[in-house]
Structure 1
């Protein structure tokens, strides 16, 4: 491998590294949003099931 190929490889790796640094926070944010959405759905489902199983107590 000569100098030109080595410089090309280093340049390519640098661009890929910068791309990863730019894209990674966006991916982490999307995954976090999905997780929060699932937690909200589970909480809503839990409320629906618990409210349907309540026993009416005489006053």
Structure 2
């Protein structure tokens, strides 16, 4: 019984040490995939598509001179 408990403790410690590293690796791969897709979309837009219309919320504002 003690041997099984020792194995379980070793597995628990290994999971605690490897868990955050595996999570970080998965997160980095997801971010890399998103960056790659964004870059691919940007290069396709440069090749022949018309530029996208600018949203009104991203236009610069002109201060009002009326008083």
TM class, shorter-chain normalised?
A: 0.7 to 0.9
Query: Over aligned residue pairs, what C-alpha RMSD do you find?
Result: 1.0
| Length, aligned pairs only | 50
User: Structure 1-normalised TM-score?
Assistant: 0.78
Q: Which has the higher contact order (CA 8 A, sep 6+)?
A: 2
Deviation beyond 2 Å, 4+ runs, structure 1: none
TM-score by length of 2: 0.70
Give ranges in structure 1 of 5+ residues lacking alignment: 1-5
Q: 1:26 corresponds to which residue?
A: 21
| Aligned-residue offset at 1:16 | 0.5
* Matching residue of 2:48: 53
In structure 2, list runs of 5 or more residues that go unmatched. Answer: 51-67
